[in-house]
Amino acid sequence: MALSKSPDIRELCYPFIFESKPTCDYEIMTDELCCQVGMVLAHLGDAWPSLREDLLHLQTLIYHLNGSVRGKNGIFDSDIDWLKYRYDCYQQAVSGRVSGFVLPQGPMPVPALHLCRCQAKKVVRMLVRLDEAGIKVPPTLPRFANLLANFFFVLTVVVKSDLNVQEVPYVSINYPAPRPS
């Protein structure tokens, strides 16, 4: 028996919740990412005003990302350029601080930013699934979502640097260590 909508609107959390296409899953993932950014903002308080401003802007862009598969594309090259610029600013501020894999740990909001990073990667993977399912994915979406994951990582490094918290390197036993050049 297929599940169906209740006639009682109070029993329907999202208009597309019962569809079988992966579009709804994508929209829920991007909604979760936007909520996680809200959690980071709650942990920031009045600290890091430029980071706060960037995250507030990103919440709007993430909801544009959300509606860009079912509706019209809302992520443009100018949004990617803005995010690249902000990424480069933060990356320059912590240049040389991280040279490999690090453990995702630290005081708040660092773990919340790492969860945003992971969720952004899930969004990228869902975009791959949408494309595989024959659903049109504007090319700006995976570019933006990939950059978003990297942006959240650099923010973890910035916050830890500002708090004078050391990164804890992760050394894999699964893959060979890169050879010095």
The verdict on residue 174 lying in a domain is no
Model pLDDT, residue 178: 65
Model pLDDT, residue 156: 98
The verdict on residue 10 lying in a domain is no
This prediction's pTM? 0.92
Query: Cα separation of 82 and 64, whole Å?
Result: 15
Q: For residue 28, what is the domain's CATH number?
A: 1.20.1200.10
- List the domain range (segments joined by +) for residue 46: 21-94+101-162
Residue 180 above 70 pLDDT?
no
pLDDT, tens digit, 9 for 90 and up, residues 27-54: 999 999 999 999 999 999 888 999 999 9
Query: Cα separation of 126 and 137, whole Å?
Result: 10
The verdict on residue 148 lying in a domain is yes
The verdict on residue 7 lying in a domain is no
Q: Which residue has the higher pLDDT, 128 or 3?
A: 128
The verdict on residue 62 lying in a domain is yes
Give Cβ neighbours of residue 100 (< 8 Å, ≥ 6 apart): 169, 170
Residue-by-residue DSSP string for 106-119: -STTHHHHHHHHHH
Residue 176 above 80 pLDDT?
no
Domain count, the chain: 1
Q: Is there a contact between 151 and 84 (Cβ–Cβ < 8 Å)?
A: no
Model pLDDT, residue 60: 98
The verdict on residue 176 lying in a domain is no
Position 14 confidence tier, pLDDT thresholds 50, 70, 90: confident
Helix, strand, coil % over all residues of the chain, rounded to 5: 60, 0, 40
**Closest Cα to residue 113, out of 40, 28, 29, 33?**
40
Position 2 confidence tier, pLDDT thresholds 50, 70, 90: confident
Give the per-residue SS3 of 7-47.
CCHHHCCCCCCCCCCCHHHHHHHHHHHHHHHHHHHHHHCCC
- Cα-based angle 44, 49, 53 (whole degrees, multiple of 5): 95
Instruction: State the average pLDDT over residues 85-92.
Output: 98
